[in-house]
Structure 1
């Protein structure tokens, strides 16, 4: 069997939305779907079977099995021809899903699980998995809507090339175009330092914007040739990266980001922009770690 798409489930409405999206992703990729539940209760040394005073179908283990069976049935209803496997794995969710990601095409999770506090926008498992997953991680935010176009956040970093490759391949699978967006300010521009250090912003008019246009062109170089069916719109906007991408995500079916951009501190697995978009984007978010981020 080929490497599957893995979806983490915990019985929450968010994780069932993730099952729908994961099943579609598996079908488009021509691979199987693996439904995984992290069963943490054995680590807590609590009784797992039904109580002697309760029904025989009770107990934590039976609940976990029913949860997975429900998710499998939902996936099968969405994609009847899909090969589906499942597993209830003892362990903490992040540890279990990170291990699953080592042999997965893609890991899909909901933005909030059963353990989320009221008002918490993003569950800790989703944000930590985006930092530690060994394959692309797709976090389902809000209701998934039909894709008209995908949004790619371009940072121009070597680590960001994985996100560019993923965005093109994903757009080709879905038959949609890409908006490749670069947001910049004088604080994060890639232009060389000005000749006069006494005047830190004494650039020629238009020089900064032209440099950012070149950055997008260079980041996408070669990908359009490999994916000629994918229409690409370049968009360079002067503004704060987080706010610009959050606003643009309102019209996107998917937002694709690298885990870290040019401004990331050494050793930081998930950059501040990626974290902000995981919390506030208006569409599903795929975070792709660069090859230099892998252990």
Structure 2
């Protein structure tokens, strides 16, 4: 069996939604599901057990174990036949997920967390994982259209081949159409250069995935609003990531954060490697 789908949970509603998506993704891939809750408190040298005057089921460790148990029950209820592993890992969430991603096919995280991350949109977590994770990262957010396309952003640079391949595989597994979108603006380049980009990006992949209905779109608009608007009718958006700290076709700061935080559907961030393309 291939590497499992990894889901990070913290007890929030969005992390439980990530479990739901993780179960579906594992089922589509024919692999297992690994649920991880990062337990940082042992590193803080605080008491983990119940307080002397509190209930026996109190304490930080019991609370953490409960978060993990709830997530595992939810996964098993959705698919009793799915192989589910749950781990209470000691460490800071970002580092734990990045480390575990080395043996995962996909990392799934929710859009908002609890605790000290309560006011933090998952954007920073996703950007961190996009730069350091060893596999694609799926951020669960918005209200995806279950009948919508898989949307992939293309920019003509060639470094987004992994993202295009991921998008084709996702569309094939979902039996959904795929839309390759390229946004251009007069300030960023002439139209005659932009025009072939979407078609060029899918060359080769059509033959590998002949079951996928492929559509290409060229939009005269800045990348950030074009992607956010297009995500309204999509069930999944896929963007490429360029190694440590850069996005193919996206600015790491404003555009990537905007897509991760404001897209109307889940966003998959797929990291670039040296060699990519249809086999």
Q: Same fold (TM over 0.5)?
A: yes
Aligned to 1:174: 174
| SS in structure 2 of the partner of residue 283 of structure 1 | coil
C-alpha distance in 2 between matches for 1:85 and 1:291 = 29
Maintained 8 Å contact 1:163/1:288: yes
C-alpha distance in 2 between matches for 1:187 and 1:98 = 37
- CA gap of 1:147–1:128, structure 2 versus 1, over 3 A, is farther
Q: How does 1:113-262 map to 2 (within 5 A)?
A: 113-114=113-114, 115-118=116-119, 120-122=120-122, 124-189=124-189, 208-260=190-242
- CA gap of 1:246–1:2, structure 2 versus 1, over 3 A, is same
C-alpha distance in 2 between matches for 1:237 and 1:142 = 23
| SS in structure 1 of the partner of residue 187 of structure 2 | coil
C-alpha distance in 1 between matches for 2:160 and 2:188 = 16
- CA gap of 1:97–1:121, structure 2 versus 1, over 3 A, is closer
Tell me how far 1:157 sits from its aligned partner: 1.9
Name stretches of at least 5 consecutive residues in structure 1 with no aligned partner. 190-207, 261-265
- CA gap of 1:147–1:130, structure 2 versus 1, over 3 A, is farther
| SS in structure 2 of the partner of residue 14 of structure 1 | helix
Maintained 8 Å contact 2:162/2:270: yes
Name stretches of at least 5 consecutive residues in structure 2 with no aligned partner. none
Maintained 8 Å contact 1:35/1:85: yes
Aligned to 1:9: 9
Aligned to 1:268: 245
For the pair 1:290 / 2:272, whether they are aligned, the reply is yes
| SS in structure 2 of the partner of residue 158 of structure 1 | coil
Residues 245-278 of structure 1, C-alpha deviations (whole Å, 9 max, x = no match):
1001011001000024xxxxx9634424322200
The count of aligned residue pairs is: 269
Tell me how far 1:117 sits from its aligned partner: 4.4
Q: Which has the larger radius of gyration?
A: 1
Residues 174-212 of structure 1, C-alpha deviations (whole Å, 9 max, x = no match):
1101111000013333xxxxxxxxxxxxxxxxxx33322
Tell me how far 1:163 sits from its aligned partner: 0.3
Aligned to 2:55: 55
C-alpha distance in 2 between matches for 1:98 and 1:105 = 12
- Shifted more, 171-180 versus 211-220: the winner is 211-220
Tell me how far 1:143 sits from its aligned partner: 3.9
Aligned to 2:64: 64
Q: How does 1:68-79 map to 2 (within 5 A)?
A: 68-79=68-79
Tell me how far 1:52 sits from its aligned partner: 1.9
Maintained 8 Å contact 2:131/2:244: no
